[in-house]
Structure 1
């Protein structure tokens, strides 16, 4: 397990690494299948078009939907997207989330990198993602 604050494209970012005792294919399903992703991601996934340029629609459960655009999609090792905030359509940057998987002995290593639109939220984002990754590990069990 490794958590660090870093930079990506000159922007503050959080990087979390977790070793999971599951094969890459199992974890890939947990991070890209809308039903499984909704079990641990902070927002419910309404739809996901699994290809670069495809859309993802999230629902916060309170009537707000968030759209995202898939920027990288290389099964079963890379899934990344830019999440657009409907409350701030003119903001300079979108949140960017990148998940990579690599085999490791009898399991795999997941690396989640989040580049928030607001650099002041990096520490809070790290705390939130720790909880999400704990939920992912529990869902995989």
Structure 2
């Protein structure tokens, strides 16, 4: 299934994986990925407060009065950006391809009951990220219910 994520279990944790291809260099994608202005357009609850360095903090606000931070655990320009958000790990790597680059996005978490909703959410977020990279206007499609149905079948 093109652009759909996959779910993997490893050592009692779960890992959602997505791939996206872009017709631009890893440097261009990495620049957008780590730009606070762009990050807050596609990443849930991002505030735009980001200290882009190894051990740096990214600040989030859930809109309901709770703020929290993530810690950047890996940062290798222009190929790797990882951070720990509470107990979850987000790992984003970029690989050069003939016509641009491939982005590998992985979210590792503990509670399998959230896999379907999380996959649908990331799918939508990565669609918006792709729009930003491709220089398109951001358009959040109203497709969450359909995606949850697709992922529910895929993960059962």
1:114-141 Cα shifts (integer Å, max 9, x gaps): 0124232122111111100100111122
What is the Cα-based RMSD across aligned positions, in Å?
Answer: 1.6
Secondary structure of residue in 2 paired with 1:124: helix
Distance 1:8 1:29, change over 3 A: farther
1:49-77 Cα shifts (integer Å, max 9, x gaps): 22221111112334321210111111111
> How far apart in 1 are the matches of 2:98 and 2:63?
38
TM-score (norm 1): 0.84
Secondary structure of residue in 2 paired with 1:39: helix
Question: 1:88 corresponds to which residue?
Answer: none
Note if contact 1:8-1:115 (Cα within 8 Å) is conserved in structure 2.
no
Note if contact 1:98-1:112 (Cα within 8 Å) is conserved in structure 2.
yes
1:102 aligns with 2:102: no
Note if contact 1:70-1:79 (Cα within 8 Å) is conserved in structure 2.
yes
Distance 1:33 1:5, change over 3 A: same
Secondary structure of residue in 1 paired with 2:115: helix
Note if contact 1:29-1:36 (Cα within 8 Å) is conserved in structure 2.
no
Question: 1:90 corresponds to which residue?
Answer: none
After alignment, is 11-20 or 63-72 more displaced?
Answer: 63-72
Indicate the structure (1 or 2) with the bigger Cα radius of gyration. 2
More helix by share: 2
More strand by share: 1
Higher relative contact order (CA 8 A, sep 6+): 1
1:12 aligns with 2:9: no
> How far apart in 2 are the matches of 1:9 and 1:21?
35
After alignment, is 102-111 or 61-70 more displaced?
Answer: 61-70
After alignment, is 127-136 or 7-16 more displaced?
Answer: 7-16
Aligned residues: 132
Question: 1:36 corresponds to which residue?
Answer: 38
